[in-house]
């Protein structure tokens, strides 16, 4: 089943003149946005541009000061969290909302049927999940316990959950942040299948090459306002970047600096696993003066442990840490600061964890 040109022109979601103020701050400033049937729209904007606020209004978690939300031509009552879901809008959050000890099928059905039915067997549900998995290329075993799944599989469960509730509009909040490149390709294949059969998608992302690969249209927010809207075929990652920041993005020239002496080193360092996050396993790394060292990896594979270690919030269990060629007697946040190390955390509003040892 594919959609006709006429159906493709149908507007399935219309946000009209949405304004939301928090005290003196206008987080959303008269935002209007439409999504058509069979379309993927990317919502772009720097941190704080107002994307989350806008989605919170769509899902009724916040009430807009001005403006309306229409889904399939019907205005949603403001401030009613279930209204968007009931109208066919599904959200796939960056942080999953699954019950780890339940199976995939139980998680998907949870909330759609009374609890006692869960224990009466999930025969029909399981079959429907299998059909949806096949139709959308979302491979996952309905009987697997969620705690045993990879991050990519958990995301597939979240998407299945929305589809099982008959969502015709999917909102994906930074869905590739936690995925490997292969999982990202598989997700994009799923999204293309979904729009080919008439679903519509809002894709929130900062990754411009991904937006260019998957979106039909891009809407750029800056300081709470829609500052531009482009067909993806008529723009470039460079133009989108400058629209997001509101100025030219300087061309990156290759560094001409010559690496100097080693100022910080880890030799065979291991740190304990913590709250489900993996620690480091025998990591060796050298930072030289005049050099930028990049760390590649999907989040959840030890980056947080490394960052905590460098900032003095953790000490090595095994192996050694060297600052300017010497091994500090005690490695604490104070020692790290005195060694000239500064840390800019990923999640600025979240307080830093307390040191695990010191
Ligand atoms: N509940 C709130 N109370 C006060 N200010 C808020 C609230 N929620 C958001 N803001 C402010 O509104 C502005 C827009 O924030 P919002 O979270 O919508 O941006 P965003 O584009 O989603 O950013 P990010 O990518 O970091 O999530 C920010 O300045 C933020 O500090």
Say yes or no: 179 and 68 in one domain: yes
Say yes or no: 107 and 39 in one domain: yes
Say yes or no: 176 and 273 in one domain: no
**What residue's CA is closest to ligand 1, atom 5?**
22
Our answer on whether the CB atom of 191 is closer than 6 Å to any ligand 1 atom is no
Among 358, 346, 187, smallest CA distance to 277 is for 346
Predicted structure pTM score: 0.78
Residues making up the chain, counted from first to last = 358
Top-confidence residue, 300 or 159: 159
Ligand 1 centre to CA of 61 (Å) is 13
Residue 134: give its domain's CATH number: 3.40.50.300
Indicate the pLDDT class of residue 336, thresholds 50, 70 and 90.
very high
Regarding an ipTM greater than 0.90, the answer is yes
State the pLDDT at residue 357: 46
| Mean pLDDT confidence for 82-91 | 92
Ligand 1 centre to CA of 50 (Å) is 6
Q: Is residue 38 part of a domain?
A: yes
In the chain, % of residues over pLDDT 90: 66
Range name among 81-85, 125-129, 196-200, 255-259 with the lowest pLDDT average = 255-259
pLDDT above 80 (res 43) = yes
Q: Is residue 331 part of a domain?
A: yes
Contacts of 159 (CB under 8 A, 6+ apart): 92, 136, 138, 170, 190
Domain count, the chain: 2
Here the tokens at position 161 are 């959950």
Range name among 159-168, 185-194, 277-286, 340-349 with the lowest pLDDT average = 340-349
Say yes or no: 274 and 331 in one domain: yes
Cα–Cα distance, 116 to 38 (Å, whole number): 37
Say yes or no: 103 and 238 in one domain: yes
Q: Is residue 89 part of a domain?
A: yes
pLDDT above 90 (res 119) = no
Per residue in 248-292, pLDDT (tens digit) is: 877 777 778 888 999 999 999 999 887 767 889 999 999 999 888
From the alpha carbon of 221, which atom of ligand 1 is closest?
Answer: 21
Say yes or no: 238 and 329 in one domain: no
Say yes or no: 315 and 211 in one domain: no
Domain span at residue 67 reads 5-245
Say yes or no: 169 and 301 in one domain: no
Q: Is residue 119 part of a domain?
A: yes
Q: Is residue 134 part of a domain?
A: yes
Our answer on whether the CB atom of 28 is closer than 6 Å to any ligand 1 atom is no
In which residue are the tokens 């015709």 written? 168
Say yes or no: 237 and 281 in one domain: no
Our answer on whether the CB atom of 52 is closer than 6 Å to any ligand 1 atom is yes
């Amino acid at each position: 089943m594919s959609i006709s040109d006429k159906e493709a022109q149908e507007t399935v979601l219309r946000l009209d003149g949405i304004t939301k103020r928090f005290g003196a701050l206008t987080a959303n400033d008269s935002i209007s946005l439409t999504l058509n049937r069979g379309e993927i729209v990317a919502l772009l904007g720097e941190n704080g541009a107002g994307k989350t606020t806008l989605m919170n209004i769509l899902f009724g978690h916040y009430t807009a000061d001005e403006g309306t939300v229409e889904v399939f031509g019907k205005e949603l009552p403001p401030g009613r969290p279930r209204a968007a879901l009931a109208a066919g809008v599904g959200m796939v959050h960056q942080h999953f909302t699954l019950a780890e000890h339940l199976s995939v099928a139980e998680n998907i059905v949870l909330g759609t049927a009374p609890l006692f039915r869960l224990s009466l067997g999930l025969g029909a549900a399981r079959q429907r999940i299998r059909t949806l998995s096949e139709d959308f290329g979302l491979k996952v075993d309905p009987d697997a316990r969620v705690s045993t799944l990879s991050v990519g599989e958990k995301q597939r469960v979240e998407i299945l959950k929305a589809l099982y509730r008959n969502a015709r509009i999917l909102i994906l909040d930074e869905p590739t942040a936690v995925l490997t490149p292969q999982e990202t390709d598989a997700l994009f294949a799923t999204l293309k299948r979904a729009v080919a059969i008439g679903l519509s998608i809002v894709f929130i992302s900062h990754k411009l090459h991904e937006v260019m690969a998957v979106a039909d249209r891009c809407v750029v927010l800056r300081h709470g306002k829609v500052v531009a809207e482009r067909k993806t075929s008529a723009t470039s990652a460079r133009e989108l970047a400058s629209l997001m920041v509101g100025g030219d993005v300087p061309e990156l020239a290759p560094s001409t600096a010559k690496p100097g002496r080693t100022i910080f080193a880890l030799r065979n360092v291991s740190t304990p696993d913590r709250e489900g996050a993996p620690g480091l396993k025998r990591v060796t790394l050298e930072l030289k003066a005049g050099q930028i060292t990049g760390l590649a990896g999907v989040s959840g594979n030890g980056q947080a442990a490394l960052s905590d270690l460098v900032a003095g919030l953790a000490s090595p269990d095994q192996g050694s840490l060297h600052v300017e060629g010497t091994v500090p007697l005690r490695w604490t946040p104070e020692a790290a600061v005195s060694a000239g190390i500064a840390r800019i955390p990923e999640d600025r509003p979240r307080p830093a964890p307390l040191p695990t040892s010191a």
